[in-house]
Each structure stands twice: as C-alpha cells, then as structure tokens.
C-alpha cells in the first residue's frame, strides 16, 4: 500500500470533507451528527473498512492499520473542534455577563439585632452599678421554675396550658426567675445580679405575644433593701433606654415569689404620657413585674428573711424594644426580614 493508493486517497477525501463539516458544526449536537455520519456504524469509515475484504490477503493488515490511523486522526479533529466550540461558548457568555462599567453590588452589612441591642443597653445600665450578669439554662427543673419560687403545684401557672413541659419534672423556663434560686443557693448574701435570657410561654401568637421571648431579671439581696431602691433602679433603667423624661409607676399586683408585688409601667415615650395609640390612651407602657422577694423564697435558699431582704424584677425585652422603636407588631423581631431589621439598626 503506497501513499497514493486508492485507499489513502479515499481517506484523504474523507478527511477533507470531515474538516469542512466540522468547521460548519456550531454546537455539540451538530458535532454529534457529523460523528455519526463519518464514524458511526453506517458511516463513511465503515464503508471503507468493508472494502478491505476485497483486497488480497497480504495487503489487508496494512490497510487496517492505515484506516485505524486515519480514524485516530479524525478523533483528534473532533476533539479540537469540541474544545474550540467550548471556548467560543465561554467567551460569548463572558461577553454577555461582564460589563466592567456596571456599578458594583455593595456587600450587605449586618447589624446587631434590636433585641440584642436593647438587652445589652439594659444590662450595661446595671453592670455600671455593680450588678453581675449571669445566665442559666432554658430547660429548668420544675422545682427551680416553680416550687422554689413559692409557686405551689396547684398554681394555674403550672398547668400545661401555660408552660412547655419536656418531662413531668422538666419545663422550658417560663421566666428568668429560676436563676434567682440557682444563684442564691450557691452564694451567700449580699448579692446583685441581672439575668438576661429567653423564656417560653404557651401564648397565642399575635401582634403583642410570642411564645419564645426575652426577659431581663434583676435581683438585689442585702440587709435593709426596700421598694424605693427598686423604683429608683427601674426609673434609671427607663431613662437610660427611653430618655431623661421617663417616670415609672408601680401598680399593686400579685406574684407568688414577691410580696408586695407590682406591675411596672413607664411613661409612654411616643406621647410623653398624654395618651396615644401606642399606649392605648393611658399614657403608660407596661414593662413587667417586680416586688420584694417573698420571705418563703429567701428561706427556701437558706437565707434568713429577718437579716436580709431583697427586690426582684422581670422586664420583657421585646416589650422595651417594641416601645423604643415605635413598632406595631412584635412578630417583626423574629421574622428575620432584613428590610425591617435594617430600619431598626
């Protein structure tokens, strides 16, 4: 078999035709069409292979090799065209995608969540006055959450309707007050602590209620502590957060773990006390509960109520943040809508 034999000529013709077709093929599908026509089972190369049978036996192996070499060459041509097409496609995409004159997208800058910021502000006020910040578990024994706080087993607050029980003796804490017990059990008086944290109640979710929310608990135990100190501390706290014009009022109330007990209100910052939609016309915003620590609670942790007494308060952080930002739906704090949170930043 010589270079100018009919076979090499034939293969040369096929290669020229193939190159022409490849240069026309503009995508992977067109390329596959060409492959089927040239290299497929009924393609041109198969037709050429069939002619080997007509050659004298001695020439057949040589002819087979020449055909195989040609096929390898064709494969290379296919591969090159495929790479070329991929490169062109990429360049086309880049041409469409990159406009270097287009203004960039500024990175999103996060901010501290309004609940966290309000919590930090409230804590800072008490930290500057020597209160220690302590945190505790959200899963509490019903002893710490209820019994030790003078809430007997038949108290309505203990019903499953109000609390999330994990086991008969374990509950998602319904307030931060169990930390009063934990801290007093481990430390002798005097002590002054604030406890920030999440608490859980089985409230129906609405514009004013969440079933997981945050409180800050305050506890001061020392000889000679009285309600005047408590009112002073809460007034200072409100002035820190809402401004120097704030007043605080106590309304008589009942909590099993304080005696006397009070609901704590502060001047409505939206109207300055004149009455508006935010405060329902009363001029006051309710922040939480407070009172003098019940002697039974002091006795329960081994303190002598004849020697020391104390006050405690629990303030809803959502309530403070909600009022601070003049919001009308408390759920905005937990819906994680960046557009809303950005406005509160």
C-alpha–C-alpha distance, residues 66 and 194, integer Å: 91
247 binds Zn ion (CB under 5 A): no
- Listed residue (32, 70, 77, 74) closest to 52, CA to CA: 70
What is the pattern of x (binds Zn ion, CB under 5 A) and - over residues 4-33? ------------------------------
For residue 310, how far is the Cα from the chain centroid? 38
The CA-CA-CA angle for residues 246, 252, 254, to 5°, reads: 125
C-alpha–C-alpha distance, residues 73 and 80, integer Å: 11
Q: Which of 30, 278, 305, 334: binder of Zn ion (CB under 5 A)?
A: 278
Closest approach of Zn ion to the CB of residue 242, in Å: 12
- Listed residue (200, 210, 175, 204) closest to 332, CA to CA: 210
Nearer to Zn ion, 48 or 321 (CB): 321
Closest approach of Zn ion to the CB of residue 208, in Å: 15
Identify which range of 10-18, 135-143, 205-213, 264-272 contacts Zn ion by CB under 5 A.
264-272
Applying CB under 5 A, the site for Zn ion has a residue count of: 6
Q: Which of 181, 268, 315, 317: binder of Zn ion (CB under 5 A)?
A: 268
Find the residue with minimal CB distance to Zn ion: 268
271 binds Zn ion (CB under 5 A): yes
- Listed residue (272, 304, 115) closest to 196, CA to CA: 115
276 binds Zn ion (CB under 5 A): yes
Nearer to Zn ion, 45 or 279 (CB): 279
C-alpha–C-alpha distance, residues 169 and 165, integer Å: 8
Closest approach of Zn ion to the CB of residue 321, in Å: 16
Phi, psi for residue 332 in degrees, rounded to 5: -60, -25
Identify which range of 85-93, 277-285, 315-323, 331-339 contacts Zn ion by CB under 5 A.
277-285
DSSP-based three-state secondary structure for 133: strand
Nearer to Zn ion, 276 or 334 (CB): 276
Nearer to Zn ion, 157 or 270 (CB): 270
Identify which range of 24-32, 35-43, 263-271, 337-345 contacts Zn ion by CB under 5 A.
263-271
Sheet holding 191-200, edge to edge: 132-133, 191-200, 212-222, 309-316, 284-293, 258-267, 248-255
C-alpha–C-alpha distance, residues 69 and 71, integer Å: 5
Q: Which residues contact Zn ion (rule: CB under 5 A)?
A: 268, 270-271, 276, 278-279
């Amino acid at each position: 078999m010589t270079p100018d034999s009919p076979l090499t000529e034939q293969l040369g013709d096929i290669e020229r035709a193939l190159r022409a077709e490849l240069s026309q093929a503009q995508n992977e599908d067109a390329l596959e069409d060409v492959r089927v026509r040239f290299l497929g089972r009924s393609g041109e190369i198969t037709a050429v292979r069939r002619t080997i049978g007509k050659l004298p036996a001695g020439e057949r192996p040589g002819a087979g090799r020449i055909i195989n070499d040609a096929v390898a060459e064709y494969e290379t041509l296919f591969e090159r065209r495929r790479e070329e097409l991929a490169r062109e496609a990429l360049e086309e995409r880049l041409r469409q995608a990159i406009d270097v004159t287009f203004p960039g997208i500024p990175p999103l800058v996060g901010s501290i969540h309004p609940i966290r910021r309000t919590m930090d502000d409230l804590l800072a006020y008490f930290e500057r006055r020597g209160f220690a910040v302590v945190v505790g578990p959200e899963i509490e024994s019903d002893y710490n959450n209820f019994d030790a706080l003078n809430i007997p087993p038949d108290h309505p607050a203990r019903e499953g309707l109000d609390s999330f029980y994990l086991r008969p003796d374990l509950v998602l804490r319904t307030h931060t007050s169990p930390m009063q017990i934990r801290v007093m059990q481990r430390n002798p008086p005097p002590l002054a602590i604030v406890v920030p944290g999440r608490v859980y109640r089985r409230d129906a979710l609405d514009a004013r209620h969440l079933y997981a929310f945050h409180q800050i608990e305050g506890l001061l135990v020392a000889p000679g502590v009285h309600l005047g100190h408590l009112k002073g501390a809460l007034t200072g706290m409100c002035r820190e957060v809402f401004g120097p014009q704030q007043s605080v009022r106590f309304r008589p109330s009942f909590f099993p773990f304080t005696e006397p007990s009070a609901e704590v209100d502060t001047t409505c910052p939206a109207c300055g006390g004149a009455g508006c939609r935010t405060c329902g016309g009363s001029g006051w915003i309710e922040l939480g509960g407070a009172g003098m620590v019940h002697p039974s609670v002091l006795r329960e942790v081994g303190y002598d109520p004849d020697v020391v007494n104390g006050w405690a308060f629990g303030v809803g952080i959502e309530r403070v943040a909600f009022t601070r930002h003049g919001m009308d739906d408390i759920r905005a704090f937990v819906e994680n809508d960046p557009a809303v949170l950005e406005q509160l930043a």
